[in-house]
Amino acid sequence: MNKYHINLLPHGRQINARSGKSMLEALMDQNIFLRSDCGGRGTCGKCRIKIIPTNDPPEFKEACKFIVTKNTDIEIPESSMLSSHIISKAPLSLPTEFKDKFKTIDKKNEYGIAADIGTTTIAMYLCNTARGKTLSSISVKNPQAIYGDDVMSRIGAIYQKKENLAYLQKIIVNAMEWGIKKLLDSLDFKDEMVSRMVVVGNPTMIHILAGVDPKSIGLSPYHPAFYDAKNICSNDLNFTLNKFSIQTLPQVSGFIGGDILGAAIAVDLENQPTGTLLVDLGTNGELMLKAKDHFFAASCATGPAFEGASLSCGMQAVPGAINQVKIKNKNDLPEYTFINPSQSFGLKPSGVCGTGVISAVAQFLQKQIISADGACKKDIHFPYVLAPKSSSANDSDIFITQKDIRSVQLGKAALITGIEFILKEAGLDKPEKIIIAGAFGTFLDKKDMMTLGMIPVMDHDKIVIAGNSAGAGAVMILCDNSLLDKAAQIANKVKVVDFNAKQDFQDVFIKKLKF
């Protein structure tokens, strides 16, 4: 197979690419990650690069659709690069009891990494494990999205071509290693300072990281290839950093894994009132309900819209993302806020994150811009512009389309249907309390969630927004290894609710599509 040279301008770095590969894959092989919200299917337009021919004018192409057939000069716009954001103080809520354990400790500093591998986003935390402190964190889009935005797409890619397992493992390891280096560099730390890593994630993500074929998760009865917690040497997964151990958590089923167990530890679900519902929001919505002496758990495919992926102008919840919308007059441009943690002068919005689209759709309903079935009213022009190109960082309008609204409908219908079925299984009409976990849920407005019908209508005081609890659980286990046993104890008390076995699930889901 022929190899060609790709020349990256203006810096002049040269990489090799095999003939027949897409430019997106060729760049990824060299740890150059572009946005690919549609999973490399050529529908999102986020991976645009500038092709610079020798004699002809430059032109923009989508990297996922541009097949390498010759030596090529390219430029990569900043807006096409995979976004990452380092946060000096991680947005984690750790229990007081956990913090108290480390108050009187006087011993040598030790450091480790806690990681939450989501289907859409990877969150990583650099911790002083001897003192129970999170020093810095980073979030980055999961580059496996080139093979699809949900776990079944990635399982399908491996089923079709066995070599894809090694490739999917390689790119997740590369992305994690890149994140670790960024975290270490941010504090002038050296590679050898990291001695341990704890990783949480859904079973498919953990299987792929460990290099284990997840195809059994994609076939009825959807069992994982392994259930036990694993301790793996980083060298065995082809990390190139100084050797360290990687600890994963137990898995309960093909879709209930270490992420929801980590979240349950972080929110102390065992000691919450009976009837407390933990909702971990992401591309997959995991649910765990506390019963009297055990737990019910289930997973529902909420889709990538809640994390900003798959939206027309979607992006991660990083600086530049519109995260709240307020419409005063449906004929005028709306007001909005966007993420700007340091209040940087001149920063403009670049897109809309999951929180922003939830806020916008709730406003559409309240201002009667759309009807309860999600259709836009005839007198309103769609796509609906949130920020005109004159106000955006990309010199193009930031907008929401009818298709984006449908994505929100599908996600919210899956979530509320799942909640109703898990409550029914426990013999409850409504939850006693709801704990919303997941980075996406951190900035959600409770009223917006109830307006859209994402969760049951209930007293606002009984709804707790807990932040990235899966990541918090990983941090806690990293710093206190005894909590790994607690995760195993919780796993042994879980009764899995299989929605596939519920004959009326689809009928209820369709009814719940209405706002």
Q: Decide if pLDDT at 276 tops 90.
A: yes
Whole-number Å distance between alpha carbons of 464 and 453: 17
Angle at 300 between CA 296 and CA 305, to 5 degrees: 140
Give the span between the Cα atoms of 464 and 56, in whole angstroms.
Answer: 58
**More confidently predicted of 95 and 87:** 95
Q: What CATH number is given for 3-80 in this structure? A: 3.10.20.30
Looking at residue 441, its amino acid is G
Q: At what angle do helices 402-425 and 354-366 cross, to 10 degrees?
A: 100
What are the CA-CA distances from residue 106 to residues 74, 135, 163, 317, 479 (Å)?
54, 18, 49, 37, 14
Q: What is the pLDDT of residue 83?
A: 60
Which of the pair, 407 or 284, is modelled with greater confidence? 407
The residue with greater pLDDT, 296 or 43, is 296
Q: Give the H/E segment covering residue 248.
A: strand 245-248
pLDDT of residue 89: 43
Band (pLDDT 50/70/90 cuts) for residue 415 is very high
Q: Looking at residues 165-176, what average pLDDT do you find?
A: 93
User: Would you give the distance in Å from CA 413 to the centre of its chain?
Assistant: 19
Fold observed for domain 84-259: Nucleotidyltransferase; domain 5 (3.30.420)
pLDDT exceeds cutoff 80 at 343: no
* pLDDT tens digits, one per residue of 389-401: 999 987 889 999 9
Q: Which residues contact 427 (CB under 8 A, 6 or more apart)?
A: none
Q: What angle do CA 406, 410, 411 make, to 5 degrees?
A: 115
- pLDDT over threshold 70, residue 252: yes
pLDDT tens sequence across 24-67: 989 988 878 887 766 677 777 778 999 999 888 999 999 999 99
Contacts with 184 (C-beta within 8 Å, 6 or more apart), sequence order = 126, 190, 191, 193, 194
Find, among 203, 259, 280, the residue nearest to 473 by Cα.
259
* Across 413-440, average pLDDT: 95
Band of pLDDT at residue 511, cut at 50, 70 and 90? very high
Whole-angstrom distance, CA of residue 7 vs CA of residue 12: 6
pLDDT in tens, 201-213: 999 999 999 999 9
* For residue 90, pLDDT beyond 50: no
Quote the tokens at residue 281.
């929001």
Higher pLDDT, 413 or 439: 413
**HEC readout, 38-60:** CCCCCCCCCCEEEECCCCCCCEE
At residue 45's C-alpha, the angle toward residues 171 and 26, to 5°, is: 35
Q: How far apart are CA 74 and CA 107, in angstroms?
A: 52
Distances (CA, A) of 27 to 21, 405, 450: 10, 32, 43
Amino acid occupying residue 34 = L
Cα distance between residue 457 and residue 34, in whole Å: 40
Handedness of CA 419, 355, 83, 81 (dihedral sign): positive
Q: In whole angstroms, what is the distance from residue 387 CA to residue 396 CA?
A: 9
188 pLDDT above the threshold of 90: yes
Which tokens hold the place of 14? 């040269």
Whole-angstrom distance, CA of residue 49 vs CA of residue 33: 12
Residue ranges per structural domain of the chain: 3-80, 84-259, 313-400
Neighbours of 442 (CB within 10 A): 19
Sign of the Cα torsion 25, 158, 142, 43 reads positive
pTM of the model: 0.89
Give yes or no for residue 69 having a pLDDT over 60.
yes
Kindly state the helix (H) or strand (E) to which residue 284 belongs, with its residue range: none
| CA gap 227, 358 in Å, rounded | 35
